[in-house]
Structure 1
Amino acid sequence: MTDTTASAAPGAVESPFKRDIGIKRRYASEKRFQAYGLIAIFLGLIFLLLLLWSVVSKGYTAFEQTSINLPITFSQDIIDPKGDRSDTALLMANYPKLATDAIVKVLGINPDDKTAVREAGQMISASSRTQLRDMVLSDPDIIGKTVSVWVLATDKVDTALKGQVDLSVDESRRKISDQQVQWMREMKADGAMKMRFNTGLFTNGASSRAESAGVGVAIIGSLYMMLIVLVLALPIGVAASIYLEEFAPKNRWADIIEVNINNLAAVPSIVFGLLGLAVFINFAGLPRSASLVGGLVLTLMTLPTIIIATRAALKAVPPSIRAAALGLGASKTQMVFHHVLPLAAPGILTGTIIGLAQALGETAPLLLIGMVAFVVGYPASPLDPATALPVQIYMWANEAERAFVERTSGAIIILLAFLAVMNITAIILRRRFERRW
């Protein structure tokens, strides 16, 4: 029997028609693959833009804060009735009454109308007490004078002025009354109330009042931790990488160490938090909520990233550089530190900055070591209680007040700005010093 299966005979020439169909199919397949890639990039950009829009649209208003310009009369009868300028009298004076008297005068309210006076005073932030007290303590001669002072409005006035409160609903369903809304509009029209740049967002510490809450302490705490990570992780990571790549014998133990380093880079950050809690706090007795403990935990988490990046940078240096150095009589140590390491420096710097950026955005390990403390004052040293930017964002996100929503998004914008600067710096350094072989 003959085989009836159609098969091309040896040496047969493929028809031009079939060859054209194969080429068209190949081109169509390539175009589909390119289209899939473009669709993937487009979807990624869409999701990124949606994320940025959701953050920016809610957080850009946090960079402005409603303030009221009041002619504060620093009455001696209220501040220092005895006239002895004692520290106790200056510290314990009824400064909110000074602000309330000033706004009553601005609005033309009858001082005998207690309800109106109380509602007017509720438009001024309680932080005015600290502001006026500090003015008197820094210059006691201000007592008896009238000074124009910008004080913060309360969060309910701020959100209402920014249009974040539906004023068309019944008065009983909102925190700001119709009378306060009317006063707010009058002062805005007169220029006594307006939006000003919110410097307190960058300088103030934690506060239960949204209008006076800021990320100043969190920024200082994050800077302390990043400095600790840089001082510890960079030299340890680079030294370990140089030894493993250039000096360590290639045996089973070296393979085990390399596998474990790669595994540590994939360990969830919360595990490092548990390690820090057990070792640095429970065993070593270091203080909770301290930047030092946070920096040590983030150092452990960042080390694998720096080691992997540094080893990759060392491997990228051509073997001919090593051979030429050794051939000219350099020792192995001289070869590494005088020739290989300078050429690998751009990659090492890039990996270090990326590791620092990753550490800056970590929250879970810091929560476990107690960096969720309510810290008002700036930490004077890494041993003092502090918090960090991601933790501050987490704490504000759990607040019930509407005004903290914009504070949360505003802090996210600040954190993203820090991360963007660090990543852009890494890109610039890589392109500036990178050498192609």
Structure 2
Amino acid sequence: MTKDRFKNTALIQASLKKRYARERRFQMYGKLAVLAGFVFLFVLLFDIVSKGTPAFTQQHISIAVNIDVDALGVSSTASHDEISKADFSSLIKSSLREMFPDVKSRGDKRQLYRLVSIGAEYDLRDKVLADPTLLGKKQDIWMLAHSQAASYLKGQITRVIPEAERKVKNQQMDWLDRLREQGRTKSSFNTTFFTYGDSREPELAGIRAALQGSLFTLMVTFLLAFPIGVFAAVYLEEFAPRNRLTDLIEININNLAAVPSIVFGLLGLAVFINFFELPRSAPLVGGIVLSLMTLPTIIITSRAAIQAVSPSIREAALGVGASKLQTVFHHVLPVAMPGILTGSIIGMAQALGESAPLLMIGMVAFIMDVPGGVTDSSTVLPVQIYLWADSPERGFTEKTSAAIMVLMGFLILMNALAIILRKRFELK
């Protein structure tokens, strides 16, 4: 009898030992999974930040420009229109040739001219228009460097890379080194990135048009999706009868939340553009499409928030004589509002990062001008990132990563706003 008892105790101890070992292994697997997730996230963020940080600086080259009225083809008392039509490009080219008189061949001259951006002539024109007294004078003017020259000045391209594998040639590097030794190069914060629209030239490309388009698109999305989604959730949860029709509606709402986003883009193309003939590539259509995509998320999260309200609140309100409508809007909704806002902001953040449905309605177009309203042609930040990522120019690589950083910043702000609003409503 005693021997059987010892045997059972040993079996139990062995079983417990195996169970504790399995629990320790499971905890270890969980810790390894969390660690792997953080490692992958760190690698992703490090790659994006390291590639995108150089885009927030721009390089300038000081050129000794002789603003000769004869070279411009204007008089010293030229009017505003005459100065606007003057050939400032030739003036910059002649100034570069004067600074590097040893450049003789046509091919070398083309390489020399590519040290400065194509937008330099417009910057010089604007300077002269702002101060016509510059006509006939010679002075040093800081001009935006070409993206290829800027990549060398930033240290992204070095002589270690074979000349055949880079667009910045050795001769251009020699000229840039000479300018650097003379103190004719400088680095500054890239305001162009936030104030300009898209451009074929990487050094002139910015995200202002995409940011404005995203703002208008999200505004339309919120104005449509939030009130419709919340009222639909309130009706389904508080007023709708429980029958087959409401069950069918609930099933369809849950199914719509799992529909691929590109399907909503096809819907927008077929219905809003082809049938209703709304303007193509406009934030109005983009906002309507994204609101349809966001509605199921808002309805589901709002219903969950309303369900979480304690029944005692409803019973207390009804007990003191409040109507069903007063109970819902004066008592239930204020308590459920933190969850409703959290779900709505998360749905809006999802809409901000969507590109597939907007590609289908034409918001992939090359847009330089900043949209002034919801019916103007526009693009959005995710689509702008897609366009730059598909560009073969090296200068757009850093622009792509920088735009991703801006988009991630907005997503973080929206999630932080959701947390702050939820905490404030919970305190109330």
State the TM-score, normalized to the length of structure 2.
0.92
Q: 2:157 aligns with which of 161, 165, 171?
A: 165
In 1, Cα distance between equivalents of 2:275 and 2:131:
48
CA 81–279 in structure 1, closer or farther in 2 if over 3 Å, else same: same
- Write the deviation string for residues 136-195 of structure 1: whole angstroms up to 9, x where unpaired: 344445434456533211111012222333424554553223222112112223331122
Preserved CA contact (<8 Å) 1:80 1:90? no
Quick one: which amino acid aligns to residue 407 of structure 1?
K
After superposition, the C-alpha distances for 1:29-57 in whole angstroms (9 at most, x for unaligned) are 22222112111111111111121122222
Which residue does 1:49 correspond to in 2?
A: 42
**Correspondence 1:375-390 to 2 at 5 A:** 375-390=367-382
Deviations 1:344-389 (A, max 9, x none): 1111111111011100000111111001111111111111111111
- Cα 1:121/1:55, change in 2 over 3 Å: same
Q: Aligned pair in 2 of structure 1 residues 248, 396: CA closer, same or farther (>3 Å)?
A: same
- Structure 1 distance, partners of 2:373, 2:73, is 36
Gaps of at least 5 residues in structure 2 are: none
Matches within 5 A, 1:315-334: 315-334=307-326
One-letter amino acid of the counterpart of residue 51, structure 2: K
Q: Which residue of 1 aligns with 2:148?
A: 156
- Of 95, 111, 114, the residue aligned with 1:122 is 114
1:362 is aligned to 2:341: no
Q: Is 1:109–1:116's contact at 8 Å kept on the other side of the alignment?
A: no
Residue 25 of structure 1: how far off its partner (Å): 2.7
Q: Deviations over 1:45-87 (max 9, x none)?
A: 1111121122222221111122113344433334452456445
C-alpha separation in 1, matches of 2:139 and 2:420: 50
| Equivalent residue runs for 1:7-26 within 5 Å | 15-26=8-19
Provide closer, same or farther for how the CA distance between residues 89 and 187 of structure 1 changes in structure 2, counting only shifts above 3 A.
same
Question: Contact between 1:290 and 1:384, CA under 8 Å: does it hold in 2?
Answer: yes
The alpha-carbon deviation at position 220 of structure 1 amounts to: 0.5
Instruction: For 1:280, give the aligned amino acid.
Output: F
Q: CA deviation at 1:108?
A: 5.1
CA 1:169 to 1:305, structure 2 compared with 1: closer, same or farther past 3 Å? closer
AA in 2 matched with 1:63 = F
Q: Which amino acid in the other structure matches residue 428 of structure 1?
A: I
Q: Report the Cα offset of residue 92 of structure 1.
A: 2.1
Between 1:44-53 and 1:12-21, the stretch displaced more is 12-21
Q: Pick which of 21-30 and 318-327 moved more.
A: 21-30
Please give the residue correspondences for 1:389-400 in structure 2 after superposition, counting only pairs within 5 Å: 389-400=381-392
Change (3 A) 1:142 1:299: farther
Alignment of 1:94-113 (within 5 A): 94-105=87-98, 107=99, 109=101
Letter in 2 for 1:25: K
* 1:159-308 equivalences in 2 (<5 Å): 159-169=151-161, 171-308=163-300
Any idea what SS the aligned residue of 1:351 has?
helix
How has the CA–CA distance of structure 1 residues 50 and 168 changed in structure 2, closer, same or farther, with 3 Å as cutoff?
closer
Which stretches in structure 1 are left out of the alignment for 5+ residues? 1-8
1:219-246 alpha-carbon deviations (Å, 9 max, x no partner): 1100111111111111111111111111
User: What letter matches 1:291 in structure 2?
Assistant: P
Q: 1:39 to 1:173 in 2, by over 3 A?
A: closer
Q: SS in structure 2 opposite 1:434?
A: helix
Instruction: Give 1:374's match in structure 2, choosing from 366, 371, 385.
Output: 366
Aligned residue for 2:364, secondary structure, equals: coil
SS at match of 2:101: coil
CA distances 1:82-111 after superposition (whole Å, capped 9, x unpaired): 456445422221112333344445x45369
The answer to whether the 8 Å contact 1:274/1:365 transfers is yes
- Match runs of 1:412-431 below 5 Å: 412-431=404-423
Q: Does 1:70 align with 2:55?
A: no
CA distance in structure 1 between the partners assigned to 2:322 and 2:6 by the alignment:
63
Aligned partners of 2:211 and 2:381 also within 8 Å: yes
What letter corresponds to residue 287 of structure 2 in structure 1? G
SS of the aligned residue for 2:33 comes to helix
SS in 2 for 1:336: helix
The verdict on how the C-alpha distance between 1:312 and 1:146 changes in structure 2, with shifts beyond 3 A counting, is: farther
Instruction: Check the 8 A contact 1:65/1:198 in 2, yes or no.
Output: yes
CA distance in 2, matches of 1:301, 1:62: 33
CA offsets 1:225-270 (integer angstroms, 9 cap, x no match): 1111111111111111111111111111111111111111110000
Letter in 1 for 2:242: K
Instruction: Output the CA distance in 2 between the equivalents of 1:329 and 1:424.
Output: 39
Q: 1:392 is matched by which residue type in structure 2? A: Q
Task: Classify 1:246/1:185 alpha carbon distance in 2 versus 1 (closer, same or farther; 3 Å).
Answer: same
Q: After alignment, is 418-427 or 214-223 more displaced?
A: 418-427
Figure out how many residues of one structure are paired with residues of the other and give that number.
Answer: 425
CA offset digits 1:271-325 (Å, max 9, x no partner): 0000000111001111111111111111111111111111111111100000000
Task: Report SS of the residue matched to 2:45.
Answer: helix
- Output the CA distance in 2 between the equivalents of 1:287 and 1:137: 37
Give secondary structure in 2 for the equivalent of 1:377: coil
Q: Which moved more, 1:290-299 or 1:69-78?
A: 69-78
Verify the 8 A CA contact 1:346 1:434 in the aligned structure 2. Answer: yes
1:143 and 2:135 matched: yes
The residue aligned with 1:33 is 26
Q: TM-score under structure 1 normalisation?
A: 0.90
Inter-CA distance 333–186: structure 2 relative to 1 (3 Å threshold)? same
